[in-house]
Amino acid sequence: MAIPFSKQRLSPEDSALILIDHQSGIMQLVHDYPPAEFRNNVLALAKLGKAHDLPTVLTTSYDEGPNGPLIPELRAMYPDAPLIRRPGQISAWDNEDFVAAVRATGRKKLIMAGVTTDVCLAFPAMQAAEEGFTVYAVVDASGANDTATQQMAVQRMSAAGVIPVNWIVVAAELQRDWRLPSAPKTGEIFHQHLHNYGMLIDNFAAQQAARAQ
């Protein structure tokens, strides 16, 4: 039976952000999004975590090898978040320290993104769902070798009870109401990372300034 939306719905009080293997080497394998768009989506999601004070866990896979280090923007944004440097486990959920860090957030809803979508995201997402977490796979902040691989991964995760979303859906569900105090931060993220919406905001601001003259 599908989970009712009222129980699926994200809120800052019950969600954690999990970012898996956004490393400079592995990200070169992503071809379902152009590189600039993909990095833009990852950073937008990360900024949403900051805007809503979500407990956040970072992890890397063999980052001293060809997979490369975590991209610097994420570590700069989350200098105090747990960074689990996995020595060999392909699925982050097979690493005890990672699972312990996720459990330590105290949250049962996990907003999860990873590179690659079919492995680094799908494996721990399905394992976490099996253990009772509600997992939201942020597909556009994850990346695959091609679109067909992405689609197969989304289908597999959905069949396992994982909920596929994009970063804009995450933003809207966390914000809920533009009258909430987090609205300026969410609006700034939209302006910076949802570029057509940013132009809309700039146009509105220009009109308002013209009327005030």
Catalytic residue among 43, 120, 122, 144: 120
Q: What are the residues whose beta carbons fall under 8 Å from the beta carbon of 70, sequence distance 6 or more?
A: 22, 23, 24, 58, 60, 63, 83
Report the run of H or E that residue 106 belongs to, with start and end: none
Burial call 112-138: b when 16+ CB within 10 Å, e when fewer: bbbbbbbbbbbbbbbbbbeeebbbbbb
Q: What are the residues whose beta carbons fall under 8 Å from the beta carbon of 45, sequence distance 6 or more?
A: 17, 19, 111, 113, 138, 141, 167, 170
Order of strands across the sheet with 109-114? 83-86, 56-61, 15-20, 109-114, 134-138, 163-165
* Annotation marks residue 120 as catalytic: yes
State the virtual CA torsion across 152, 153, 157, 159 in degrees, nearest 10. 10
| Positions marked active-site | 120
